[in-house]
Amino acid sequence: MSARQPIEVFPTTAALAKAAADRVVASAGRAQAKRGTFTIALSGGSTPRALFQLLSTERRIDWSRVQIWFGDERAVGPDHPDSNFHMAHESLLGPLNLPDNQVHRILGEAVDLRAEALRYGQEVKAGIGEADGWPVFDFMLQGIGTDGHTASLFPGTGAVGVVDRVAIHVVQPAYVRPAVERISLTAPVIQAAREIVVLAAGPDKAQVLPEVLDGPLELEKRPSQLIRQAKGQVVWLLDSAAASQLKGV
Ligand code: 6PG
């Protein structure tokens, strides 16, 4: 059994967001010093909002040398309240006023989502340096769903098992909300990142985390376990509520 990946637990969501922001700052500094730019893939959902709001006033990062990407997107337009881009724009991208050429949006409004997944995958491959044939993001922010999904790789869909392309179209299971289809980076791309920070907060994540972190590897059942097979540096940043059922933390 491989050792459990590093976990840090914080008493409040504010402290959690601050710790995550400090990691983004450190990662950006390393990347920009070594390669001149910093590539980050943002997760969606609601948890990252506090982090994005903190980063929107962060002056320790040279934002002119940051490329913003998305780990996944809902099949809605950029102004839709369910859009991951919309949340990131409201909390981070708008306040930073980043130029369009620094923000790589997944076009959730695309009529042909399979074609859009292919297009986004090609944009990622063209825009990100590669290693072993996979694009390598400097920083990959991941969330986790109560069903153990990450990005839009939902259990029972086979999505986590797609290992021959960069991005895929995913038809969401019936229980998923919002009830829209997705486009998601694939497991190999997430796993290739130099650094992965998983953010999870709230009591509703407490039950799934022990299975994901410590349970037997069953990726189709708990796709977030793909992070346990990541190549780079991984840390799970949790608040006390989310960590409440984890042994030894
Ligand atoms: C999405 C996300 C997804 C998210 C988890 C957690 O598009 O919904 O990318 O993977 O990170 O569902 O979402 P919450 O932060 O809202 O709990």
Ligand 1 center to 112 CA (angstroms): 23
Q: Check residue 1 and give its pLDDT.
A: 53
Confidence bin at 114 (pLDDT 50/70/90): very high
Angle at 201 between CA 200 and CA 204, to 5 degrees: 100
Distance CA 148, CA 93 (A): 28
Share of the chain above pLDDT 70, in %: 100
Please report which residue ranges of 61-129 form alpha helices under DSSP H: 84-88, 94-96, 113-127
Closest residue to atom 8 of ligand 1, CA basis: 45
Ligand 1 lined by 83 (C-beta under 6 Å): no
- pTM equals 0.98
Residue-wise pLDDT tens digits, 132-183: 999 999 999 999 999 999 999 999 999 999 999 999 999 999 999 999 999 9
Residue 219: CB atoms within 10 A of its CB come to 17
Ligand 1 lined by 188 (C-beta under 6 Å): no
Ligand 1 center to 123 CA (angstroms): 23
Q: Check residue 2 and give its pLDDT.
A: 74
Residue-wise pLDDT tens digits, 44-78: 999 999 999 999 999 999 999 999 999 999 999 99
Residue-wise pLDDT tens digits, 91-105: 999 999 999 999 999
Q: Residue 135: which of 188, 69, 195 has the closest Cα? A: 188
Strands 134-135 vs 130-131: parallel, antiparallel or unpaired: antiparallel
